[in-house]
């Protein structure tokens, strides 16, 4: 992603993450099932998925990227 003044950013932009407090307490089970049906992988992400993406951004030469 490029900013107007040439600032480049690496970003991780996940969808719903299953093992977060918000998903556990705030999203009712019927809504979770509806959401899962709209996700091509058929499951919510996990905190470990975000950790893996962050480690990849830190270890290899990546710039100007958005990981969805």
User: For 3-38, what is each residue's pLDDT tens digit?
Assistant: 677 777 778 888 899 999 999 999 999 999 999 999
More confident residue, 53 or 1: 53
14 phi/psi in degrees, rounded to 5: -80, 165
For residue range 42-54, list pLDDT tens digits in order.
999 999 999 999 9
* Structural domains in the chain (count): 1
- Res 63 pLDDT > 70: no
Q: What is the pTM of this model?
A: 0.69
Q: Which domain range does residue 39 map to?
A: 11-67
- Res 2 pLDDT > 60: no
Element containing residue 6 per DSSP (H, E): none
Give a yes or no: residue 2 inside a domain.
no
Give a yes or no: residue 61 inside a domain.
yes
Element containing residue 34 per DSSP (H, E): helix 29-37
Give a yes or no: residue 3 inside a domain.
no
């Amino acid at each position: 992603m490029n900013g107007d003044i040439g600032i480049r950013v690496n970003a991780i932009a996940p969808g719903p993450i299953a093992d977060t407090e918000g998903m556990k307490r705030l999203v009712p089970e019927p809504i979770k099932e509806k959401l899962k049906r709209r996700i091509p992988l058929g499951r919510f992400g996990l905190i470990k998925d975000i950790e893996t993406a962050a480690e990849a951004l830190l270890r290899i030469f990546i710039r100007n990227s958005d990981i969805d």
